[in-house]
Structure 1
Amino acid sequence: MAEQVLKERYAIQQQLGKNAGRQTWLARDLQTEELVAIKILTFGADFQWEDLKLFEREAEALQSLSHPAIPRYLDHFEFQTRKTKGFALVQNYIEAKSLAEWVKLGRTFNEDEIKQLARDLLEILIYLHGQNPPVIHRDIKPSNILLGEESPLDQKLSTLNKGGWEGQVYLVDFGSVQTLAAREGSTFTVVGTYGYMPPEQFGGRGVPASDLYGLGATLIYLVTGTHPAELPQEDLRIKFEPKIYLSSDFVDWIEWMTEPDLKRRLTSAGEALKALEKPGEKEGKYSVVSKPTGSKVQLKKDRNNLEIIVPIHWTDVNGIGCFSIVFILLICFCFSLLLWILIMQFISHLFGISILSGFGGYLFLFIFIFLSWVTIKPRNRLRIDRQQIYQRIYFNYNWFGYNNMPPSPRWAICKLRISDIYYNKNSRVGRNIQIWAGIREYKLITKDLTNGEVDWIAHELSEWLNLPIT
């Protein structure tokens, strides 16, 4: 199409790109003498009507947007030449290289520069997702992010301030854009780029958090130089080893952005920006959270793990636990007997008399009771991590114990409820917290806890699991 004039106004100069039936050309607007970018969809052998639907959606979306980091809509029209027929979308031309081009040219980025890129892109996403209805890009990747060269003044300021690279960032190619205005039950087209699109997008519907995944995957490409689709995965999570130094907080933030489970991912660009600027403010590094004063419950959590340890009563220990207790008592008895014999022999040898052995029985009884008391204190330990949920009853320092329930997959957790405990029909003595994973019930027996402790534990579980309390 070089040297052709479309709509008697746009003089085609050279091709900028080509992708799946679409072509992007550099042209000059003969009326304004400005350079423009024209995206063209032609009726060829690979044309599909779904492509036209997406093309029109892109034109409609760009008309409603006005942001300095987003291409400006100028015109769109249908055209026909001697050789082809199709549709054209005209945007202002942005003279900048994509992140993919910069990496191919050998450009590297340090942590400060990558963070600055992330901030700029999150600001763009805050604008897009803040539209009514929200605009979801759905194809954020290195080739759709342009980065302009910084001026000599910017270079000098960057050197003086030791900050990130301050080149202008642009988000382009809205050919996969989706709005959230569609009604439930309508059909959606699966679009995006493998490696940069989250699992929920394979179902055809994107949400604001889907763009966060694409941004996180793009950052992984910058720090590794490898496309995420070529990196190993574990439970759908991208496993990456940065080729540059990155702080642990920033690595954790990138992993949070690319969490495959939508419930566990950052939910909005604003939340992601806040987490980037103030790491650990919302979710600490496996630290004990606040709890009612004087509570003996231990609750620890971070983004990937939650652990609750609740003291329980002797009457709440089942048959396997009673067997464990008998076994512990037998060990304590044998150890106490051995210790008593050694102490008596030492005293007899030291003083040459055996008169102290008369109250050796009392000493033996004291040792046995003491060892039993410090050893046998039943506790209920519930732990949920990325892979599974499991529960264990143990005694004191986890020296002895047993698995109360077989582990279940993390994804099987489906219900959280509080139920009353009755000794008889009219006597309520407490409340239980139940977590259902499929048909398995993981129960936190809270008979000895206050209502405040039960409400606190249930609230923490509900918030962390993103499940309502029933």
Structure 2
Amino acid sequence: MEMLHQPGEIIAERYCIIGTLGQGGIGITYQAEDIQKHQQVALKALALRRMTEWKVLELFEREAKILAQLNHPRIPQYIDYFQIDTESDRAFYIAQQLAPGKSLAVLVDNSWKPDESEVKRLAIQVLEILVYLHSLTPSVIHRDIKPQNILRDEKGQIFLVDFGAVQDTYQNTVTGGSTVVGTYGYMAPEQFRGQAVLSTDLYGLGTTILFLLMQKSPADLPQRKLKIDFRSHVRISQDFADWLEKMIEPVIEDRFPGCNEALAVLRGEQAITNYFSQKHRRPKNTIISLTETDQNLVIEIPPIWLTTPHSRLFALIPIIWNGFFLLLLWIIAASNLSLSFSGILFLIVFGSIGISIIGIFLFSAAFRTRIEINQQHFQLKRWFLSICYQQVQANTLDITEIKLNPIGLKMNKQPITVCLLRIKLFKHRFGTFLMQSEKEWLMGEISHFISHSAG
């Protein structure tokens, strides 16, 4: 691309060109000095007569508009947007603070080889920036996360630059924007269709991490079933590999639903198993009713009674306990034994426990559960016979954990589990007597629905 300005040239009587920082499809970025404030800036320039289509100017103006709204310590601060007319051309400019440090691409070219811990620290910082961008109203999608656009200073601080491909979700959902932007190798598959969602930036970060670990472009890595096959080519921990694989899933629904979830797993605050990559099939002959629409998921679990192996196994506990108690009473009566106070107390306690076990079993086997979830609200209700004894209401976003939790017992050498939903500090369990396939199916459906709604 032809240079617009040379070192020493003064732009708008304020910015003195020092050199070139980089150039791309929609402009050239110069290093310049703001001679009024005596500070260095990044000055991005776009010439009208060098444009091949008006869409380029639209992207440039959108970048300026969104940058003016951003306020984050790791995003260079917006300074100015202006244009200059000459006899033969019109040029547009965006001025920003100059971010310290060098791009990850330059660092790798200079033989920088970060280890796993350093890459994790870097990823956490980028995710924190993306959390900020995605939490704006409307959410801002960078769409061009790559090594050239991430800067690292000498202290290890990370900065995100070049918002030339930026898109807000209003633009994406209302006008149906279809411009293909991004960089080959770091673009999520949906970007080739002109689409972008919040997890699009996660894909770019995941491929950037692959570049750091393997010192080569993700475009040069082998693929299997449209997915980058990296595990056999890099030495990292199993947990980090699982997390990274989730980041670069080619199917949107199989990635983390958002940056908060990816960040929580990377920090060890949540387990990656909370995010099921695929839905389990509906078990045959299940008595569970599940109704799902784009906006709502309703699950009805009727009383189990003795319809499953787990419920029949648990039914043996009160039978054995109370059978032994009745046998003990018969022996005492048949032997005409006189009991001491401690003996009588033992029988009372033993019998009370037996009655409690019967109550717990009948209560668990007879209750009905209803779960209703939409994009905003979650509700769990339980009935014992016709009496509603529990009702939980919360914000869907407050659900922080969805998993099967072992209860310490086994059946056919397999652990018996219970469905668990964590809502902030509270854990809600259900489905102990369901078949394992039913529990896996339910947890997969709930996780998939929440992930799909959030994404």
Q: Is the 8 A contact 2:283 2:438 kept in 1?
A: no
Find the aligned partners of 1:33 and 1:198 in 2 and give their Cα distance: 40
**Cα distance, 1:466 vs structure 2:** 4.4
**Cα distance, 1:7 vs structure 2:** 1.4
**For residue 4 of structure 1, what is the aligned residue in structure 2?**
9
What code does the residue aligned with 1:120 have?
Q
Pick from 237, 244, 256: which aligns with 1:247? Answer: 237
**For residue 257 of structure 2, what is the aligned residue in structure 1?**
267
Pick from 25, 28, 50: which aligns with 2:30? Answer: 25
**Cα distance, 1:137 vs structure 2:** 0.3
What code does the residue aligned with 2:11 have?
L
SS at match of 1:186: coil
**For residue 442 of structure 2, what is the aligned residue in structure 1?**
459
**For residue 56 of structure 1, what is the aligned residue in structure 2?**
61
What code does the residue aligned with 1:225 have?
Q
SS at match of 1:132: coil
1:68 aligns with 2:41: no
Find the aligned partners of 2:434 and 2:283 in 1 and give their Cα distance: 17
Find the aligned partners of 1:305 and 1:453 in 2 and give their Cα distance: 14
Residues 100-121 of structure 1, C-alpha deviation per residue, up to 9 Å, x if partnerless?
A: 0000000000010000001100
Residues 45-94 of structure 1, C-alpha deviation per residue, up to 9 Å, x if partnerless?
A: 44321111000111011110011110110001011346743100000112
Find the aligned partners of 1:281 and 1:241 in 2 and give their Cα distance: 20
- The residue correspondences of 1:57-96 to structure 2 (distance < 5 A) are 57-81=62-86, 84-96=89-101
Higher relative contact order (CA 8 A, sep 6+): 2
Find the aligned partners of 1:304 and 1:251 in 2 and give their Cα distance: 18
**For residue 220 of structure 1, what is the aligned residue in structure 2?**
210
Residues 270-303 of structure 1, C-alpha deviation per residue, up to 9 Å, x if partnerless?
A: 100111122872517xxxxxxxxxxxxxxxx964
Pick from 108, 112, 125: which aligns with 2:117? Answer: 112
**Cα distance, 1:99 vs structure 2:** 0.3
Q: Is the 8 A contact 2:231 2:241 kept in 1?
A: no
SS at match of 1:51: helix
**For residue 343 of structure 1, what is the aligned residue in structure 2?**
none
Pick from 166, 172, 177: which aligns with 2:161? Answer: 172
**For residue 397 of structure 1, what is the aligned residue in structure 2?**
none
**Cα distance, 1:186 vs structure 2:** 3.0
Question: What TM-score comes out, normalization by structure 2 length?
Answer: 0.61
Unpaired runs of at least 5, structure 1: 151-166, 285-300, 313-448
- The residue correspondences of 1:43-442 to structure 2 (distance < 5 A) are 43-81=48-86, 84-150=89-155, 167-182=156-171, 183-184=173-174, 186-241=176-231, 245-278=235-268, 281-283=271-273, 303=277
Q: Percent identity?
A: 39
Q: Is the 8 A contact 1:249 1:279 kept in 2?
A: no
Structure 1 residues 248, 455: closer, same or farther in 2, change over 3 A?
Answer: closer
**Cα distance, 1:459 vs structure 2:** 2.0
The number of equivalent residue pairs is: 300
Q: Is the 8 A contact 2:151 2:160 kept in 1?
A: yes
Root-mean-square deviation (CA), in Å?
2.9
**Cα distance, 1:201 vs structure 2:** 1.7
What code does the residue aligned with 1:76 have?
Y
Deviates more, 1:271-280 or 1:208-217: 271-280
Structure 1 residues 225, 451: closer, same or farther in 2, change over 3 A?
Answer: closer
Find the aligned partners of 1:219 and 1:33 in 2 and give their Cα distance: 36
**For residue 316 of structure 1, what is the aligned residue in structure 2?**
none
Q: Is the 8 A contact 1:21 1:44 kept in 2?
A: no
**Cα distance, 1:237 vs structure 2:** 0.7
Residues 212-243 of structure 1, C-alpha deviation per residue, up to 9 Å, x if partnerless?
A: 01000100111111111111111211112576
**Cα distance, 1:454 vs structure 2:** 8.6
Find the aligned partners of 2:270 and 2:35 in 1 and give their Cα distance: 54
Q: Is the 8 A contact 2:78 2:96 kept in 1?
A: yes
Q: Is the 8 A contact 2:279 2:445 kept in 1?
A: no
Find the aligned partners of 1:136 and 1:21 in 2 and give their Cα distance: 18
Residues 369-401 of structure 1, C-alpha deviation per residue, up to 9 Å, x if partnerless?
A: xxxxxxxxxxxxxxxxxxxxxxxxxxxxxxxxx
Structure 1 residues 6, 47: closer, same or farther in 2, change over 3 A?
Answer: farther
Find the aligned partners of 1:20 and 1:283 in 2 and give their Cα distance: 40
Find the aligned partners of 1:30 and 1:185 in 2 and give their Cα distance: 41
Q: Is the 8 A contact 1:21 1:47 kept in 2?
A: no
**Cα distance, 1:309 vs structure 2:** 8.1
SS at match of 1:31: coil
Residues 431-457 of structure 1, C-alpha deviation per residue, up to 9 Å, x if partnerless?
A: xxxxxxxxxxxxxxxxxx988889745
Structure 1 residues 452, 108: closer, same or farther in 2, change over 3 A?
Answer: closer
**Cα distance, 1:44 vs structure 2:** 3.2
Find the aligned partners of 2:210 and 2:248 in 1 and give their Cα distance: 9
Q: Is the 8 A contact 2:283 2:437 kept in 1?
A: no
What code does the residue aligned with 1:59 have?
A
SS at match of 2:185: coil
Find the aligned partners of 2:19 and 2:186 in 1 and give their Cα distance: 29
Structure ID, larger Rg: 1
**Cα distance, 1:33 vs structure 2:** 1.1
SS at match of 2:67: helix
What code does the residue aligned with 2:251 have?
D
